[in-house]
Amino acid sequence: MTHATPEALADTPSPRRFIAHLDMDAFYASVELLRYPELRGLPVVIGGGRRHQPEPQPDGTRRFATLRDYAGRGVITTATYPARALGVHSGMGLMKAAALAPEAVLLPVDFDRYRHFSRLFKQAVLAIAPVMEDRGIDEIYLDLTDVPGAQDTVDGDPLGGVRAVAQRLKQAVHEATGLTCSVGVTPNKLLSKICSDLDKPDGLTLLMPEAIPARIWPLPASRINGIGPKASDKLARLGVHTIGELAAAEPAWLVDHFGATYGAWLHAAAHGQDDRPVVTWREPKSLSRETTFERDLDPRQDRAMLTPLFTRLCEQVAADLERKGYRGRTVAVKLRYADFHIVTRSISLPEPTRDAQVIRLWAGRALKTAPLDQRLRLLGVRIDRLVTEADAAAAEAAPLPTSLPLFPSEP
């Protein structure tokens, strides 16, 4: 048996860092197209209510609602790429979208179905790349550095190995869900987030630091995750519009205008610098469900409609707790009134729970402490102070002390 000498080990190059950002393509809309394949290639908007369910016809076809017939104040959750080409996008009011794309098909949201497909694609990815950071229902970060084959050179291409791994990820997602995704692979999370959006849909973008000036610097500064509307507007007023212009700015000038911490981060981000790790687990602080009504509801006159909706929210929160393995100690309700004013009320439980009936009981008590003299736009239920099932069980099993010392110094 031979052993590597310390000198040889020192000469061994460290593995290149490969971080992937995987983003599902128009996720909600794509899930709906699996259910309604006749809508492929058409402008489709997701964001309607139950009244916008497709209606089966006697000849076996389905009749779909369109934006032309919409009246209300809902907003778009997502849209297919043909709809986006007409100028509609997520967050846009449906009435405004109707003016731009009156013939676009309108479908209701179905979050239970979207969560199901979210679990499917994440399970498929974990079988290949187990170091995953969950960033929401339709996007994840993956550390591919130590995935077998990622460091290989293939046919003279030093990125051939990681390219093959990324293609396997895309194939696994498609086989598990029938959906496509776009993947960016770079040395860090900041660049990968940008790159996953460069070649959508069904894209794969690999980028190393030497390509930053050509591919990243021409992009708008707002494409950096962390530069929001306010910072973007301020940069524009200062004459900085692209990432390249931001990279050319003097660090001291950025600090003068944006403060020491954010100014230094802007300089580093524009140069593609980011050392954040892929975090495989974050303890959630709370779980919540809420619903926005298609019309303002009166707390008293519309009680027959509000009561089952409120109960359903509590049941959904309880189901989320059970699926994630938590119980909660505080129940809160959220109300948004017709004038957009928001009120929350919370109440602490005697012991942590995940039981839907218990959550409904205490949420109802919290609701009674909120003003109910205005019409409501939104109703939500949240549970805070989460504890794991294991911690809750251990607390229940722990024997009570037979006596307590009077002073801390007593044994």
- Catalytic-labelled residue, pool 32, 103, 139, 245: 139
Q: 177 with 169: CB under 8 angstroms? A: no
Cβ count near 48 (within 10 Å):
23
Q: How far apart are CA 403 and CA 411, in angstroms?
A: 11
SS3 204: strand
Residue 231, SS3?
Answer: helix
Q: How far apart are the C-alpha atoms of 174 and 255, rounded to whole Å?
A: 45
223: Cβ contacts below 8 Å, ≥ 6 apart: 194, 197, 243
Q: Is the distance from CB of 196 to CB of 21 less than 8 angstroms?
A: yes
Cα of first residue to Cα of last residue in the chain, in angstroms, is: 58
CB 307 within 8 A of CB 379: no
The reply to whether 290 belongs to the active site is no
C-alpha 195 chain-centroid distance: 17
| Cα 137 from Cα 175, distance rounded (Å) | 18
Residue appearing with tokens 């017709």 = 338
- Dihedral sign, CA of 73, 79, 82, 84? positive
Backbone angles phi and psi of 4, in degrees to 5: -70, 135
Is beta strand 78-79 parallel, antiparallel or unpaired with respect to 44-48?
antiparallel
Catalytic residues: 139
